[in-house]
Structure 1
Amino acid sequence: MSDAPLRRRGGRRRKTPGNASGAGGSAGGAQGASAWGPEGGVEEGGGPDADPIGVVREIALRRMEQRECSRGELIDYLVRRRGCEQRAADEVLDRLEAVGLVDDERFAAMWAESRRRSRGLSASAIAQELRARRVNDAIIADTLAAFDQAGESAAALELARSKARTMRGLDRRVAYRRLAGVLTRRGYGPSVSVDAVNRALDELTGG
């Protein structure tokens, strides 16, 4: 038997799974997950070492470039759809509100004007849409205060006139039912609808 000293096989120690990243890697991963919420999922701005506030701000601004949003809609988008942390989203939106980039009063006024002009919606129908877009009731009430009864009646009449033009030749009772149904679906009350429909049909037939 040889007296030569035994040599260890292989010149380097084998790494076991998990040694490559080390304790620091695990801590970094945990920090990243905390920054981005339970899903950990945002793509813009890099990986878990990116500044969470900066990345959330980038996501919010990109969303706002696509369309006008209320603060509530942006919160839903950032937290529920993009997995951002609620605290980071609130901080970013506070800053954007401070510089006027997020403004629910402006959003509500623009929405109300657009929906009344394009679809002839009543104040109550517009209020429902604004609630669905997470605008609070106080802002909705202030926005719709400008829609007085005279304005509501005028909008209903304009809608009835535009629809009545497509009903020439119809029996008046049939046209009346159809027009009343249109105005009801747009949120107008019975008294406003009845007056608008009768006036529109009278103008159509010269009655």
Structure 2
Amino acid sequence: MTSKPDPEKIEQLRQALAEHAASTSGTGLFDAEAEEAKASVRKRALGLLDQRARSRAELRGRLIDAEFNPGTVDEVIDDLTRAGLIDDAAFAREWVRQRHARRGKSASALDRELRDKGVDGSIRAEALDQIDAEDEEATARKFAEKKARSLREAPADYQEYQKALRRVVGVLARRGFPNAMSMQIAREVLDARIENLSETDSG
């Protein structure tokens, strides 16, 4: 899960908007009906941002799904963007950093996730630059080794070996790692595990 926007910043924005509404009420500059509509959208938006950071498109989609007026939603999102509470570049960088490190997601899987959240291609590419080929392989190997350690005894035959291999490959495939890399790493870690089990048994 990505980190939340700065709680102090959210609270400061709430206070500033409340003060603005109070100072402009009763003047020709204040449209009470329009401000009331924005206040409802803003309250829902800030509540969603309190839960976790979100991309601009993701937040807009949630607000539209809640049946708020699209024009009002866009105005509120523009306000929140100017206030720094919505920042797709920062959101994408944090999404990649956390989900690669904690969940072992591959670059291709993370790219798909960010695309699904409406993040622009150039922003996705910049965020994914945090992951190089060595990082990708090291992460894949870590999860493959973890799965291989669940093997308690050496396979009795080729069929059992293939079954164990498919399980390790499956762990990597679900995280979006390339097929060729997944197969190579899975074979290496599985063979190492089997060798270790054989040495233990013979000892």
Q: TM-score, structure 1 length as denominator?
A: 0.70
1:74 matched residue in structure 2: 59
1:34 matched residue in structure 2: none
Q: Which residue, 166, 176, 184 being the options, matches 1:187?
A: 176
Alignment of 1:106-125 (within 5 A): 106-125=90-109
Partner secondary structure for residue 167 of structure 1: coil
TM superposition shift of 1:123 = 0.7
Kindly provide the amino acid, as one letter, of the partner of residue 58 in structure 2: E
1:175 matched residue in structure 2: 164
Structure 1 residues 63-114: Cα deviation after superposition (integer angstroms, max 9, x where no partner): 11122211111111112x2222222111111121112111111211222222
1:197 matched residue in structure 2: 186
TM superposition shift of 1:197 = 1.1
Identical-residue share of aligned pairs (%): 36
Q: Which residue, 137, 141, 161 being the options, matches 1:157?
A: 141
**Larger RCO, structures 1/2 (Cα 8 Å, 6+ apart):** 2
Distance in 2 (alpha carbons) for counterparts of 1:184 and 1:123: 12
Structure 1 residues 145-172: Cα deviation after superposition (integer angstroms, max 9, x where no partner): 2211111111110110111111231523
Question: Any gaps of 5 or more consecutive residues in structure 1?
Answer: 1-46
Task: Assess if the C-alpha contact under 8 Å between 2:153 and 2:194 holds in 1.
Answer: no
1:51 matched residue in structure 2: 36
Kindly provide the amino acid, as one letter, of the partner of residue 175 in structure 1: A
Distance in 2 (alpha carbons) for counterparts of 1:140 and 1:170: 43
Kindly provide the amino acid, as one letter, of the partner of residue 181 in structure 1: G
Task: Assess if the C-alpha contact under 8 Å between 1:157 and 1:199 holds in 2.
Answer: no
Task: Assess if the C-alpha contact under 8 Å between 1:127 and 1:140 holds in 2.
Answer: yes
1:137–1:169 CA distance, 2 compared to 1 (3 A): same
Task: Assess if the C-alpha contact under 8 Å between 1:168 and 1:204 holds in 2.
Answer: no
Kindly provide the amino acid, as one letter, of the partner of residue 61 in structure 1: L
1:103 lines up with 2:87 in the alignment: yes
Partner secondary structure for residue 110 of structure 1: helix
2:46 matched residue in structure 1: 61
TM superposition shift of 1:49 = 7.6
Partner secondary structure for residue 168 of structure 1: coil
Q: TM-score, structure 2 length as denominator?
A: 0.71
Partner secondary structure for residue 130 of structure 2: coil
1:48–1:160 CA distance, 2 compared to 1 (3 A): same
Task: Assess if the C-alpha contact under 8 Å between 1:53 and 1:88 holds in 2.
Answer: yes
Task: Assess if the C-alpha contact under 8 Å between 1:108 and 1:140 holds in 2.
Answer: yes
Distance in 2 (alpha carbons) for counterparts of 1:177 and 1:184: 10
Distance in 2 (alpha carbons) for counterparts of 1:105 and 1:98: 14
Distance in 2 (alpha carbons) for counterparts of 1:102 and 1:49: 22
Partner secondary structure for residue 59 of structure 2: helix
Q: Normalized per residue, which structure has more helix?
A: 2
Larger radius of gyration: 1
TM superposition shift of 1:201 = 1.8
